[in-house]
């Protein structure tokens, strides 16, 4: 007869493994899984549901939640990333280069006007989307930082064909600017 439950060979290791699998791991793994889900309320709900599931079923329940998180959270993010960086790859076109190609019909601000652009100013840039049958998209960007001829801003339009979001960070060169909104002018509503 065994004196104590842990005196059998490997019993202590089996007990530790069961505590890990049925006690500690489900909560830790679920905490990582819910980060994939964009809805904050759904995240809290899943974490609260964990402790309503019987202990012996928790590892399987957590595995099911991984499938849900991948379908609801990761799949749209992957699709958006694929569209933005692989399929459509919208890139900023150079205003100077376009002006050189068509100086009579494509106007850009002169170097003196561009030299005065700084944080808070609104400039217009144009994007080329290679996989679209459109010529591109022109949108306003609010400048947030400037270092020499390199600028950073936030998109101040809702894109139609470029895979961008309103308020996305945009990095560009001073030569990419095709228009500048004067401080006393109200920014046009349509791009």
DSSP state of 134: S
Query: Would you call 144 helix, strand, or coil by DSSP?
Result: strand
H or E stretch at 18: helix 11-19
Q: What is the mean pLDDT of each run of 10 residues along the chain (191 residues)?
A: 63 80 85 84 88 89 86 73 66 89 90 91 88 75 94 91 85 94 55 45
Tokens, residue 140: 């306003």
3-state helix, strand, coil in the chain (%, to 5): 45, 20, 35
pTM score, whole prediction: 0.54
């Amino acid at each position: 007869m065994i004196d104590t439950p842990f005196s059998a060979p490997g019993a202590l290791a089996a007990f530790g493994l069961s505590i890990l699998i049925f006690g500690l791991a489900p909560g830790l793994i679920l905490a990582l899984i819910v980060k994939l889900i964009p809805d904050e309320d759904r995240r809290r709900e899943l974490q609260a549901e964990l402790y309503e599931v019987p202990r012996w079923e928790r590892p399987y329940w957590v595995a099911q939640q991984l499938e849900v998180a991948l379908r609801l959270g990761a799949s749209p993010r992957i699709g958006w990333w694929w569209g933005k960086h692989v399929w459509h790859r919208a890139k900023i076109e150079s205003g100077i280069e376009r002006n050189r190609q068509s100086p009579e019909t494509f106007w850009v601000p002169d170097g003196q006007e561009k030299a005065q652009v700084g944080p808070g100013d609104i400039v217009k840039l144009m994007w080329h989307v290679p996989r679209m049958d459109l010529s591109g998209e022109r949108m306003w960007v609010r400048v947030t930082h400037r270092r020499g001829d390199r600028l950073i801003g936030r998109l101040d339009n809702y894109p139609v064909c470029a895979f961008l979001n309103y308020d996305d960070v945009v990095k560009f060169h001073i030569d990419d600017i095709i228009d500048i909104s004067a401080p006393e002018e109200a920014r046009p509503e349509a791009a």
